[in-house]
Amino acid sequence: MVPVNFKKIATKKEVVALLEYLKQETGTAIQIHDADGKRIVGVGSENSTHRYPIEFADRVIGWIAGSEKAIAIVNLISYLLKQEFEKKALANELLEKYRELTLLHDITTQITASLELKEVAQLVIEGVGKLIEATGGSILLLNQKTGELESLSSVGQAFPSQESLKLCGGLIGRIADTGKGEIVNDITADPRFGEYQGPIKSLICVPLKTKEQMNGVIFFWSQEVDELSERTALSYNSEDLKILTMFAFHAAVAIEKALLYEQSCISATVAQAQAQQLQQALYELQHTQAHLIQSEKMSSLGQLVAGIAHEIDSPVNFIHGNLAYISNYAQNLLNLIELYQKYHPSDRVQIQELMANIDLEFLLEDLPKTLNSMKVDVGRIRKIALSLRNFSRSDELEMKPIDINEGIDSTLLILDSRLKAISKHSGIRIVREYGKLPLIDCYSSQINQVFMSILANAIDAVENQSEAGTITIRTEVMEVENESSLALGMWQLEDKFTAHSSFSFSSPHVVIRIQDNGAGISEEVRDRIFEPFFTTKTAGNGAGLGLSISHQIVEKHGGVLKCFSEPGHGATFCIQIPIKQTMMLQPIFSSANGNKVFNSELSLAGII
């Protein structure tokens, strides 16, 4: 009820003027008193015999004392009271509407600026809670997959219902299913809810809809007895429904926008993940393609080298086999000439001239030396051919015990032309520190390719420097838990890397260290040195696959390949391989002809 100021109305000038007029006309005193009989205003003495009550809103708020004509004052004041009430009621209504519109504008501005679903819902439910009295309120979002209404945001007490909030079921679900706002001021009297025994007495609920899409509901409820205010349940009216419907419309639009934004973010994340997967797939495809191409090249090159080695072997074996006979024949002829000179000296001029022309004495001395040199060089050719054939072997179907030291020597023999002194450098010194090793189970050609890759890189590192290049190769057996000396032994970088934990192992291993005295490798390069396609060489001088494939080969053999280096201190590559393999190694790729190979970017064509 809008309060009315009776004293203010009783003292209005039109009331006072009427009092004066009646006194002059009738000579009767008229007094106006409040409900307690206290005089507010009047004319004349207070000995009036008649008193008239002034009633408003079913209660007496004042009295008029005077003659019978004083009833005009009663009517005037009643009329003024009614006017005052209507003015105040209208003002309050306008103020309330302004408050609603201001709140709606503020909330609409805030929810329009936000794309966070929960933030939007909380802004709406708190805003409406300022206009509609309730025990509690909630916004429920419809899960389009399950058909259930899930709590998104709430205000006040938690909703007490434990029922399934599905459409067509449960307290809220039944109202939401109708698709329109509704007020239920006595749930127990509503036949739709059967014999409901819960604490909820009244309910106002409006769906969150945009066009024909139902996204959820917003509702407020009141208990049978409000524990906070100790009063009976609230009742809702059409004005409450109008307010809630207005807010629900804006909330539905904002929530739909937030849902679309959330879905777009999820879609963007999925698209980004798919793009990354495609990028990774493309990278792996390119990597695989390069490996397959390199594998095929190495397979073909291996067959070519094996064929060349075979073609060299045939004539060399013929020459080597007949050199012994030729040596014997030559020695017999030399012996015959010596005897002939001894027993048949000739003074014929023609013989003397011929002996002088052919320098018989030099021939007798040099021919055995020449034949011996031929034997040595033919033996070297046979050794090179054997190394080429062993190195390029690509038809291994299973692991075989091999001599690691011998494999390193075969690789060095193939690289011999790059180690010799030429005009550009004074030659590269090879220091062999071979330990006594057992035979190791592995694919010899694959391990040889690892040696080839690392040694070729070491040669690249030292061949053009001013200081004489040195490559030191050490091999040894490491027993279990001998980790502390594994990294570099007693070498230059021992203090920095002996604690490296990546080399722990649980069975005897062979460790091969290949160290150069080159310029060293920066940390940035060292961290990427085993990445496919990573290279610091100029275009055309390497595809960046050699060390990457070497790393894979060693890992497939159950071993570890690490690089230890820093600028100015050279580089050391450590290879750890178990002496006995626990499982059969699977080849990285198969060539088109079916040969199983581990490829390498090193080209033997340049070496041959």
Beta-sheet strands, E only, within 44-192: 50-56, 59-66, 136-142, 149-156, 182-184
The predicted pLDDT at position 201 comes to 82
| Distance, CA of 290 to CA of 257 (rounded, Å) | 48
Distance CA 23, CA 19 (A): 6
Q: What is the pLDDT of residues 408-465, one digit of tens each?
A: 988 888 788 788 766 566 778 899 999 999 998 888 878 888 888 899 888 888 887 8
Cα 407 from chain centroid (whole Å): 43
Q: What gap in Å lies between CA 452 and CA 602, rounded to an integer?
A: 8
Burial code (b: 16+ CB inside 10 Å, e: under 16) for 152-189 equals bbbbbbebebeeebbbeebbbbbbbeeeebbbbbebee
The 3-state DSSP composition of the chain as helix, strand, coil percent (nearest 5) reads: 50, 20, 30
CB 569 within 8 A of CB 492: yes
Closest to 7 measured CA to CA, from 56, 59, 62, 52: 62
| Consecutive H or E run containing 440 | strand 440-442
Taking alpha carbons only, the member of 552, 577, 194, 543 closest to residue 405 is 577
pLDDT score for 453: 86
Kindly give, in sequence order, each residue whose CB lies less than 8 Å from that of residue 344, ignoring residues fewer than 6 positions away.
Answer: none
Q: Please name which of 1, 604, 4 lies closest in space to residue 304, comparing C-alpha atoms.
A: 604
Q: What's the gap between Cα 194 and its chain centre?
A: 53
Q: How do 469-478 and 428-434 pair as beta strands?
A: parallel
Distance CA 551, CA 503 (A): 14
Angle subtended by helix axes 444-462 and 546-556, to nearest 10 = 140
**What's the pTM?**
0.44
Return d(Cα 547, Cα 553) in angstroms, integer: 10
Those residues of the chain that have pLDDT short of 50 are: 162-164, 167, 481-502, 540, 583-608
Give 473's strand partners: 432, 514
pLDDT at 425: 65
Classified as helix, coil or strand, 516 is strand
Beta-bridge partners for 31: 42, 65
Rounded distance between C-alpha atoms, residue 433 and residue 450, angstroms: 19
Beta bridge partners of 39: 33
**DSSP 8-state assignment for residue 601:** S
Provide the pairing of β-strand 149-156 with 225-226. unpaired
Longest dimension (CA), the chain: 199
Beta strand 182-184 pairing with 200-210: antiparallel
Least Cα distance to 125 among 222, 215, 250, 214 occurs for 250
Residue 163: per-residue pLDDT: 47
pLDDT at 473: 94
Which contiguous run of DSSP H or E holds residue 506?
none
